[in-house]
Chains A and B, each alone.
Chain A
């Protein structure tokens, strides 16, 4: 294996951040033009996370961000694990579309892992650095020794499920959103990453870490018509200030990504997408295989029926493999990102999810 370029990877991460800032400005400009063409004033700047928070930890892999719970009920701590490549604030996009704010409003103390860009160490990072290191550390800090609720989204859900199986004593309950577990059932991404088409080793040798632009171009190819459809919708909804703010917030978030740490990416593609080792109980983290039967915490598995990134069967597959007696599959008619950002999900799905969490939390 070649390791040519580690010293450049920090510069690549800085460039990614600049590109994300540029994209945020471009999205604002597009929206402003659409509004002005309707004779309406542009919407204000949408900066990123919507709710007040504080940084309570800063490690090599992630910052730990705390959102304080409000109200009379004390429901305990929730640790949110987002995907390594996306910024967590899709769960705190706008005040009216913030999952995190909803949780705080019901008395949960929310701790979020805001993953750092991987930099020069990325090609050497492994799953255990994240699961036994960052996530376990966050759970211990958030719960002060007591078990915590864990909410995982997308690939963050895969990490959260592995964490719950490896550290059952630290988990009070586990909620997963659009989480791939049975990777061979995950649709076109599984097809595209078959060993005959895709060489993860060559990619990591070439780039060190998986760059966001390359990752995103793969996701965009899943629905190539979408770029034009979005512009059309932008024009159609330009008169609706709330819809445009949502467009700006979501599109800016979609362009704000981290590189995938090369070492984890190699294992993710080979072990999970190509070998489907997690569902077979053969995926090794550290020196131990992950046994999903050791995931015994109460489980709520939320599946988006129109998810094109994690096809529903890839999530449903988990239900028959966990050791939890208290487990529930909740299916909702939306897309992968709609789980956290659609108004319909916020109105109809999240009350059910939060009520499930409340029933299993301290009061």
Chain B
């Protein structure tokens, strides 16, 4: 059982042409100042969002941790008494 395409040779040639032109387009885009500017803006927005998420998580765990610590301390004191 082979799953070759009906005319694999023609498809491969077509794919090779597409591959070459798509690579050239991608290469051109990656050197374009506007594309770079857009990429940098997206990256910056993502990093600012990631940093904000980290800060929220940290604040939330801090509050949770201090509540847990206070509860543990109270429980220890109660046991001691």
Instruction: Give A residues with C-beta under 8 Å from B.
Output: 2, 4-5, 8, 37-39, 188, 191-192, 196-199, 202-203, 205-207, 221-225, 228-229, 232, 236
Contact = CB atoms under 8 A, between A and B. Distances in A.
Given A4-B58, A5-B57, A191-B36, A225 B19 contact: yes
Given A4-B58, A38-B3, A191-B31, A198 B51 contact: no
A221 B30 contact: yes
Contact of A37 (B3, B22, B40): B3
Contacts of B1: 37-39
Contacts of A228: 19
Interface of B: 1-3, 12, 15, 19, 22-23, 26, 30-31, 36-37, 39-40, 43-44, 47-48, 50-51, 54-55, 57-58
B26 A225 contact: yes
Contacts of A38: 1-3
A199 B50 contact: no
B50 A206 contact: yes
Nearest to A222: B30
A268 B52 CA distance: 25
Nearest to A203: B47
Nearest to B58: A4
A39 to B, nearest CB: 5
Main SS of chain B's interface residues? Answer: helix
Contacts of B58: 4-5
B66 to A, nearest CB: 15
Nearest to B46: A206
A5 B40 CA distance: 24
Nearest to B8: A236
A37 B4 CA distance: 9
B65 to A, nearest CB: 10
A223 B26 contact: yes
Contacts of A207: 47, 50
A197 B56 CA distance: 27
Main SS of chain A's interface residues? Answer: helix
A197 B40 contact: yes
B31 A188 contact: yes
A152 B36 CA distance: 32
B15 A232 contact: yes
A236 B2 contact: no
Nearest to A192: B36
A192 B19 CA distance: 23
A127 B57 CA distance: 30
B51 A205 contact: yes
A222 B23 CA distance: 10
A4 B47 contact: no
Contacts of B51: 2, 4, 202, 205-206
B39 A197 contact: yes
23 contacts: A4-B51, A4-B54, A4-B55, A37-B2, A37-B3, A38-B1, A39-B2, A188-B31, A191-B36, A196-B40, A197-B36, A198-B43, A202-B47, A203-B47, A205-B47, A206-B54, A207-B47, A222-B30, A224-B22, A225-B23, A229-B19, A232-B12, A232-B15
A329 B2 CA distance: 47
A167 to B, nearest CB: 36
Contacts of B30: 188, 192, 221-222
A344 B43 CA distance: 38
For the complex of A and B, list the 8 residue pairs with the smallest distance between their C-beta atoms, beginning with the closest.
A37-B3, A197-B40, A206-B50, A206-B51, A206-B47, A4-B54, A225-B22, A39-B1
Contacts of B43: 197-198
Contacts of B44: 199, 202
A198 B40 contact: yes
A140 to B, nearest CB: 39
A196 B39 CA distance: 12
Contacts of B26: 223-225
Nearest to B30: A188
Contacts of B50: 206-207
Contacts of A206: 47-48, 50-51, 54
